[in-house]
Amino acid sequence: MNCHNEEGIILRPVDFRERDRILTFLTPEQGKISGIVHGARSLKSQNRAATESLVLARFEYVERRQTAMVKIEHCEALDLFPAIRKDYSRFLYASYFAELLLLTEIPSTEAPLYFNWLASILKNLQREPADPFRKAHWEWDFLCLLGVQPQLDCCQVSGQPLPPDFLPSEQVFYQLDARLGGIRGPGHTEPNPDAAWLSV
């Protein structure tokens, strides 16, 4: 059996049986991994705090034959991000980005990029609350990781070219629309949870 010792961020914990927990976590070396922690839900378990969602932890695990799920021997919490857990809005933002990664196929060669992206978001949310513009910025970075470069040369609604030095002002409004993958130009902005107002 291959043994591993590496850091990871827990994307999703799932309670299993009476005392166990199955974790899906993201590592910079192997990408996404699913593994079981026996006894994690026991009050006496040393792994209890380190098996919650959105925890940066160090995992000791072994690969098992005939199954993709590893056996996690030990996990030590390195950062619980307490400010995120105390603020519902921050927790929603962090959970949203973790969910994006759960839905994404991540090759092991690109795992460091995705890991660093999520780690940066969590550290940022730990320091200060998020807002729609920063959410859109992180979504923008995520699109770049996926190889979908956001379009900045024209309005994604009208197709009209944008000036190369365009700047928002009190009279001229622009939005960054994550769903459209680019900019909404003047006259095509709208109240939309997927679109963040740009400001100088």
CATH of the domain at 44: 2.40.50.140
pLDDT for the residue 153: 85
Of 6-20, 101-115, 143-157, the range with the lowest mean pLDDT is 143-157
State what percent of residues in the chain have pLDDT above 70: 92
Residue 146 DSSP SS3: helix
pLDDT at position 22, please? 93
Indicate if 12 and 65 belong to the same structural domain.
Answer: yes
Helix and strand totals (H; E) in the chain = 4, 9
**Whether pLDDT at 5 is above 80:** yes
pLDDT: which is higher, 1 or 119: 119
- Looking at the structure, do residues 73 and 88 belong to the same domain, yes or no? no
Distance CA 55, CA 119 (A): 10
What is the rounded average pLDDT of the residues 62-67? 83
In terms of pLDDT, which residue wins out, 182 or 46? 182
77 shares its domain with 7: yes
Type of residue numbered 191: P
Whether 200 shows a pLDDT value over 50: the answer reads no
pLDDT-based confidence at residue 157 (cuts at 50, 70, 90): very high
- 67 is written with which tokens? 């199954």
The pLDDT of residue 43 is: 64
For residues 156-190, one letter each, b for 16 or more C-beta atoms within 10 angstroms of the residue's C-beta and e for the rest, the string is bbeeeebeeeeeeeeeebbbbbbebebbbbbebbe
Mean pLDDT of 5-29: 93
8 and 54, same domain (yes or no): yes
- Rounded mean pLDDT, 46-75: 87
106/166 same-domain check: no
Q: CA-based Rg of the chain, rounded to a whole angstrom? A: 20
| Number of domains the chain is built from | 3
Do 90 and 141 fall within a single domain?
A: yes
Asked if 87 contacts 81 with a C-beta cutoff of 8 angstroms, the reply is: no
Q: How does pLDDT run across 71-116, given as a tens digit for each residue?
A: 999 899 999 999 999 999 999 999 999 999 999 999 999 999 999 9
Show the domain range for 167. Answer: 147-200
- The pTM of the full predicted model, rounded to 2 decimals, is 0.78
Are residues 152 and 141 part of one domain? no
